[in-house]
């Protein structure tokens, strides 16, 4: 993975930069010791590592603004960091960059149940946003699988989704307002506790901009009352086509499940060995969850079971209570861990039209043989967001490169069938050089001029998202 050559002038001024930062932050909030900056050398895409020049941990918007102003004035690149759970390398530093971590900014500023929002500092973790409101029966809907650790700042940067977004949407659909610091230190407020912020939809533009337009320090998030209950049904099929048809039939029947999850045989086998969830050994396993009162759930599950039955399942199991529901979800929730027990893996998240599922799965199976690397598929079938997990051995020379080449072919296939490179993880560095597959030069130019407006000097997380060759001139300017 190519990264820009670090700016030698910045590297040589490390002491002055750190000294300036210490003027505006408490001393323990500026980390410059080389042993300690290693803690920030990578995110969850651990194949790539580079310690930053230094890391800062501001405690509020004013401190973030002061840091940004200094970096802007001194021409120092800044890489914002939530909790460092990005699978796309969104928080990977360059050697000449200041890591701006939001971890200290984790407080709840306001909760309002009448108007159904919560305002938080963005270092707060996704799950602890729900934690702050659940005693009142409320929750924050987007639920990425890293929700125990990931920060709202990162969720906004990557427009994170989750298993339940078929019904509740992703981050951008649940974000009402932000306080954001621009690269030059300017603080802007966009939106608020009202719906549909006025003027151009800058909120929608910022969500998913991968920390390249500004550092979001506070966020107003929509909260909802929890449903009365939720229960899943598990079904197994002998081939992907049938499972795909079941998904289509459920949706066409007018039922909107909160989640439709899919696992293929390699994934089921790994999961069974690891978590012993009692899953059937079959080609395609679906978990479909619906919400409501007990009677409402029964009624919806009855319709779903009828559809499932028509397609001759090898197994059909309805959760009658919370205990059975837990067992049905156990394997799915252990899937990534189970694959990790077998070997190192790379997790992709290309999205495809639901109708292309069987074809794409078949092609991935064929490519797996061509590349000689095993792959398991576990994904959100309702919205076509795939998660192929390619297994490789990080200690075997050439295996990572082979895995990346395989991954690139899968993502190109996703684009070919009408889908996209990434559904919820973001581009980061991982998919950066594939952007030309999905977008023509004019399409990328239209995105890059947006960054020109927010960060004219291209100092903020600037080595991400756009192919380096496409963005080089802007960074050099």
Of residues 337 through 366, those in contact with other proteins by CB under 8 A are 351-355
Q: Find the binder of other proteins among 46, 49, 109, 113 (CB under 8 A).
A: 113
Q: What track of x and - describes contact with other proteins for positions 176 through 215 (by CB under 8 A)? A: ------x---xxxxx-xxxxxxxxxxxxxx-xxx------
Selected from 12, 312, 445, 469, the binder of other proteins by CB under 8 A is 445
453 binds other proteins (CB under 8 A): yes
Other CB atoms within 10 Å distance of the CB of residue 312 = 10
User: Near other proteins by CB under 8 A, which window of 103-111, 156-164, 273-281, 467-475?
Assistant: 156-164
Shortest CA distance to 388 belongs to which of 348, 419, 416, 418?
Answer: 348
Closer residue to other proteins in complex, CB, 201/283: 201
Whose tokens are 């910045």? That residue is 10
Shortest Cβ 316–other proteins spacing (Å): 21
CB 64, CB 110: distance < 8 Å: no
Residue from 149, 299, 305, 342 binding other proteins (CB under 8 A): 299
Q: Does 24 bind other proteins (CB under 8 A)?
A: no
Q: Is 158 in the site for other proteins (CB under 8 A)?
A: yes
**First and final C-alpha spacing in the chain:** 23
- Does 408 help bind other proteins (rule: CB under 8 A)? no
Q: Does 477 bind other proteins (CB under 8 A)?
A: no
Work out which of 111, 173, 343, 436 binds other proteins, going by CB under 8 A: 173
Residue 350 CB, nearest approach to other proteins (Å) = 9
Range 258-287, binding other proteins (CB under 8 A): none
Least spacing, CB of residue 188 vs other proteins, in Å: 5
Question: CA gyration radius for the chain?
Answer: 23
Query: Helix H segments across 316-398?
Result: 322-342, 357-371
What DSSP line would sit under 405-473, residue for residue? HHHHHHHHHHHHTT-BS-SSS--TTTTGGGHHHH--HHHHHHHHHHHHHH-TT--BSTTSSS-HHHHHH
* CA distance to 79, 83, 182, 456, per residue, from 472 (Å): 17, 28, 21, 13
Whether 420 contacts 407, CB under 8 Å: no
Residue placing its CB nearer to other proteins in the complex, 406 or 466: 466
> Judged by CB, which is closer to other proteins: 97, or 470?
470
CB of 131 to other proteins, least distance (A): 18
Residues 6+ apart with CB under 8 A from 287: 232, 233, 234, 259, 260, 261, 263, 328, 329, 332
Task: Give CA–CA dist 25/162, Å, rounded.
Answer: 35
* Cβ distance to other proteins smaller for residue 173 or 343: 173
Instruction: Report 365-384 residues binding other proteins (CB under 8 A).
Output: 380, 383-384
User: How many chain residues are in contact with other proteins, going by CB under 8 A?
Assistant: 95
């Amino acid at each position: 993975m190519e990264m820009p050559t670090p700016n030698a002038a910045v590297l040589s001024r490390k002491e002055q930069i750190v000294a300036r930062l210490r003027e505006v932050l408490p001393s323990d909030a500026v980390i410059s010791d080389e042993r300690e900056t290693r803690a920030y050398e990578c995110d969850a895409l651990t194949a790539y590592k580079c310690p930053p020049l230094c890391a800062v941990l501001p405690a509020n918007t004013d401190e973030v603004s002061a840091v940004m102003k200094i970096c802007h004035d001194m021409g120092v690149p800044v890489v914002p960091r939530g909790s460092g759970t990005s699978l796309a390398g969104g928080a990977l530093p360059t050697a000449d960059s200041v890591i701006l971590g939001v971890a200290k900014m984790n407080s709840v500023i306001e909760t309002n149940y009448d108007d159904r929002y919560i305002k938080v500092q963005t270092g707060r973790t996704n799950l602890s946003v729900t934690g702050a409101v659940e005693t009142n029966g409320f929750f924050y809907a987007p639920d990425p699988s890293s929700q125990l650790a990931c920060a709202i700042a990162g969720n906004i940067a990557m427009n994170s989704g989750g298993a339940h977004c078929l019904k509740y949407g992703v981050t951008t659909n649940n974000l009402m307002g932000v306080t954001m610091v621009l690269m030059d230190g300017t603080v802007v407020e966009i939106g608020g506790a009202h719906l549909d912020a006025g003027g151009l939809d800058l909120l929608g533009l910022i969500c998913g901009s991968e920390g390249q337009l500004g550092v979001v320090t506070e966020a107003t998030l929509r909260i909802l009352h929890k449903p009365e209950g939720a229960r899943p049904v598990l079904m197994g099929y002998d081939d992907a086509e049938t499972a795909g048809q079941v998904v289509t039939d459920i949706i066409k029947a007018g039922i909107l499940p909160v989640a439709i999850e899919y696992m293929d045989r390699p994934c089921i086998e790994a999961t069974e060995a690891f978590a012993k969830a009692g899953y059937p050994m079959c080609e395609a396993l679906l978990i479909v969850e619906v919400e409501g009162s007990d009677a409402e759930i029964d009624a919806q599950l009855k319709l779903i079971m009828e559809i499932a039955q028509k397609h001759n399942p090898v197994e059909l199991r309805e959760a009658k209570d919370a205990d059975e529901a837990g067992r049905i979800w156990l394997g799915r929730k252990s899937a990534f861990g189970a694959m990790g027990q077998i070997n190192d893996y790379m997790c992709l998240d290309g999205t495809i039209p639901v109708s292309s599922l069987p074809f794409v799965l078949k092609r991935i199976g064929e490519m797996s043989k061509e590349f000689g690397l095993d792959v398991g598929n576990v994904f959100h079938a309702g919205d076509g967001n795939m998660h192929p997990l390619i297994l490789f051995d990080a200690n075997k020379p050439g295996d990572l490169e082979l895995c990346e080449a395989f991954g690139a072919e899968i993502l190109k296939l996703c684009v070919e069938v009408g889908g996209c490179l990434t559904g919820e993880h973001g581009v980061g560095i991982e998919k950066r050089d594939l952007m030309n597959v999905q977008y023509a030069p004019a399409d990328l130019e239209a995105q890059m001029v947006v960054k020109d407006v927010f960060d004219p000097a291209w100092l903020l997380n600037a080595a991400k998202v756009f192919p380096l060759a496409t963005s080089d001139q802007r960074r050099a300017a």
